[in-house]
Amino acid sequence: MTNPQVSVIIPTYNRGYMLHHAIDSVLAQDFKDFELIVSDDGSTDNTREIIQSYGDRIKSIYKNNKGVSAARNRGIEIASGAFIAFLDSDDLWLPGKLSAQVEFFNSNPEALICQTQEMWIRHGIRVNPMKKHKKKSGMIFEPSLLLCLVSPSAVMIKRELFDIVGLFDESLPACEDYDLWLRITCKFSVFLIDKSLTVKKGGHKDQLSKMPCLDIYRIKSIEKILKSGQLTEKQYMAACKVLKKKCRIYSNGCIKRGREKEALYYKDILQKYE
């Protein structure tokens, strides 16, 4: 397809056992003006065979294993659409997801990013998100400091936004999306389509959000945005508050586990922002 309106990027690593569900949910969309790029982050299972079985219906990239950020970034680099939509290989889209977002952008040409509501499935059972996970619409930087309120699988982004804020940070093995959302939400509104059109699945053993010590990467992301010079005074104060809280909790946990040197490192960060 020449210059499709939307480029859909699925990053994947050793998820041949579920990848076809994600791909099929994209190909079943009623909106058809898209290209589908599967970015294989060095899989060693049957992922390549799964991808090849779709023939020319999808584009694929194969690269050495460097993490999900690098996989998404390579997809962005070869994408030709005016809009970028991501789908994690363990998630699904419901029918009408792409058409709803394209229609939103057509009606709101000033918008740069929007997301849909999502349905949560854990171990095959639908669960309700807690109140703190409720998605908001508009300028959401401050609530986004506490936890991720944007889901990669639910967003659609105008390509030009990456020229402004940059790509995913490839030095982060996890919370790379948290880092990107902070860079976006400090400057721009994230709009919400209040309809569940994304299925977010969890509970499987290779889920990135199950990695230990995730606050290490959140602390790094907050410190980066504090040093960037982009924040308003109010945003800076809010980021400092969350950073100090996370450093305090993490350093105390290190002390309990006998990791004195690591605890001291995070205490030093805390003191810099006192």
pLDDT the model gives residue 130 = 76
For 235-247, the pLDDT digits (tens) are: 999 999 999 999 9
DSSP secondary-structure letter at 60? E
The CATH superfamily assigned to 6-206 is Spore Coat Polysaccharide Biosynthesis Protein SpsA; Chain A (3.90.550.10)
Residues whose CB is less than 8 angstroms from the CB of residue 55 and which lie 6 or more positions away in sequence, other chains included: none
Residue recorded with tokens 């053993």: 205
Average model confidence (pLDDT) for the chain?
Answer: 93
Say how far apart CA 26 and CA 157 lie, in whole Å: 17
For residue 6, which amino acid is it?
A: V
For 198-218, the pLDDT digits (tens) are: 999 876 666 555 555 899 999
Residues whose CB is less than 8 angstroms from the CB of residue 205 and which lie 6 or more positions away in sequence, other chains included: none
For 143-172, the pLDDT digits (tens) are: 999 988 999 999 999 999 999 999 999 999
Q: What is the DSSP string of 76-112?
A: HHH--SSEEEE--TT-EE-TTHHHHHHHHHHH-TT--
- List the structure tokens of 271: 């003191």
For 80-99, the pLDDT digits (tens) are: 999 999 999 999 999 999 99
For residue 5, which amino acid is it?
A: Q
For 99-147, the pLDDT digits (tens) are: 999 999 999 999 999 999 999 998 888 888 777 888 999 999 999 999 8
Rg of the chain taking only CA atoms, in angstroms: 19
Q: How many residues does the structure list for the chain? A: 274
pLDDT the model gives residue 209 = 54
Strands 83-86, 6-12: pairing is parallel
From the CB of residue 12, how many other CB atoms can be counted at a distance below 10 Å?
Answer: 25
Residues whose CB is less than 8 angstroms from the CB of residue 226 and which lie 6 or more positions away in sequence, other chains included: 236, 239, 240, 243, 273
Say how far apart CA 117 and CA 104 lie, in whole Å: 14
Following CA atoms 115, 99, 22, 79 in sequence, which dihedral angle do they give, to the nearest 10 degrees? -80
Say how far apart CA 259 and CA 262 lie, in whole Å: 6
Give residue limits of the domains in the chain: 6-206, 215-272
What are the backbone dihedrals phi and psi of residue 195, each rounded to the nearest 5 degrees, phi first? -150, 135
Longest dimension (CA), the chain: 58
